[in-house]
């Protein structure tokens, strides 16, 4: 493929991006969580290109991104529980796994032939404008090579996928910084991946969530044991960093890089993937030692990503 174009998040950039998407090409775009690698969710060719560009295992289904509820209702069947969650948290960093609508028209590669489909209505204005101008759902995994650190800036996308995708829309840094929370609306409401909407916020609406997913039989790459991994080895809960380690801190205390000097989880989530990339560039063979992060609120999503980053490869 030719060089990857960097597009501005304006009318001209969106116009070019839509033309590329209509031609079955891939365009990375900003969302409030991480950058997505977008392709036409109704095109087998475009979706196959997503798996190819990422080197992603084909049994891992993709999220269909929509710009409004009307588009969402064409893809999935919404029961009262789904309607209530959508009304409360959309647009925003929540993905709902729902029964696929019989006339959804999605490529079977999006769902990996499951009867369900994962849907997300992002809050980022550029993401919504792009999907709306395209006029249909975009399949979009995180815009990074499979297994690596997710991208929260356009240059992260370029570092991993330059030359493998048609374009990236540069919308600046992502504000949330961790991927969407995924809920499976099955017999029980199951937490499939902690993310940008906290479990506490969701449970205030739904009552206690069941814990779904199984790392040994993954139906979500976020459930694979090793994921989000930098090149360097990672050690967690490091209260006693060693002299030969690169130290990532949280809150007060000596360190090389700090997720949030004030100890704020929102700031730490927004900084997480950029700091992991920076640490990787600085590590030079050293292990990255990461301070403990409280396991509440966004800390659950942060710790989930860190455990996978530290998992045996």
The C-alpha atoms of residue 197 and residue 178 are separated, in whole angstroms, by 10
- CA 306/CA 39 separation, integer angstroms: 28
Q: Does 142 bind Mg ion (CB under 5 A)?
A: yes
DSSP 119: E
**198 belongs to the binding site for ligand TXA (CB under 6 A):** no
Residue 108 token pair: 């079977």
Q: Would you call 240 helix, strand, or coil by DSSP?
A: coil
Of 158 and 289, CB closest to ligand TXA: 158
Residue 141 binds ligand TXA (CB under 6 A): yes
108: nearest Cα among 43, 40, 182: 43
Q: Which of 102, 118, 122, 101 is nearest to 110 (CA)?
A: 118
**223 contributes a contact to Mg ion by CB under 5 A:** no
Six-digit token pair at 1? Answer: 């493929």
- Our CB check for ligand TXA shows the closer of 138 and 289 to be 138
By CB under 6 A, name the one of 9, 222, 230, 249 that touches ligand TXA. Answer: 222
Q: Does 114 bind ligand TXA (CB under 6 A)?
A: yes
CA distance 62 to 177: 19
* 43/142 with CB nearer ligand TXA: 142
* Among 176, 117, 134, 140, CA closest to 46: 140
Least gap, CB of 280 to ligand TXA (angstroms): 19
Site for ligand TXA contains 116 (CB under 6 A): yes
Q: Judged by CB under 6 A, which of 42, 49, 120, 247 binds ligand TXA?
A: 120
Binding piece for ligand TXA, criterion CB under 6 A, among 12-20, 31-39, 248-256, 275-283: 31-39
Footprint of Mg ion on this chain (CB under 5 A)? Answer: 142
């Amino acid at each position: 493929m030719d060089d990857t174009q960097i597009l501005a998040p304006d009318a001209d950039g969106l116009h070019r991006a839509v033309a590329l998407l209509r031609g079955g090409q891939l365009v990375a775009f900003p969302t409030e969580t991480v950058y997505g690698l977008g392709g036409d969710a109704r095109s087998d060719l475009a979706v196959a290109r997503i798996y190819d560009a990422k080197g992603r295992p084909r049994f891992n289904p993709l999220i269909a991104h929509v710009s409004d509820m009307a588009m969402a209702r064409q893809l999935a069947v919404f029961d009262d529980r789904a309607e209530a969650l959508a009304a409360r948290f959309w647009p925003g960093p929540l993905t709902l796994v729902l029964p696929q609508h019989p006339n959804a028209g999605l490529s079977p590669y999006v769902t990996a032939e499951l009867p369900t489909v994962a849907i997300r209505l992002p809050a980022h204005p550029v993401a919504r404008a792009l999907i709306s101008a395209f006029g249909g759902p975009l399949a979009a995994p995180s815009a990074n090579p499979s297994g690596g650190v997710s991208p929260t800036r356009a240059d992260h996308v370029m570092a991993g996928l330059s030359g493998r995708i048609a374009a990236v829309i540069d919308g600046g840094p992502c504000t949330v910084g961790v991927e969407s929370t995924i809920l499976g609306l099955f017999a029980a409401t199951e937490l499939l991946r902690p993310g940008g909407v906290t479990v506490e916020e969701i449970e205030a609406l739904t009552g206690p969530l069941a814990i779904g997913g199984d790392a040994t039989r993954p139906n979500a790459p976020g459930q694979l044991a090793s994921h989000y991994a930098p090149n360097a080895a990672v050690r967690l809960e490091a209260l006693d960093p060693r002299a030969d380690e690169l130290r990532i801190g949280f809150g007060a205390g000596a360190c090389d890089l700090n997720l949030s000097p004030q100890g704020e989880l929102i700031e730490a989530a927004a900084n997480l993937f950029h700091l992991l990339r920076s640490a990787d560039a600085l590590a030079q063979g050293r292990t990255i030692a990461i301070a403990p992060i409280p396991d509440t609120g966004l800390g659950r999503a942060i710790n989930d990503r860190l455990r996978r980053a530290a998992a045996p490869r």
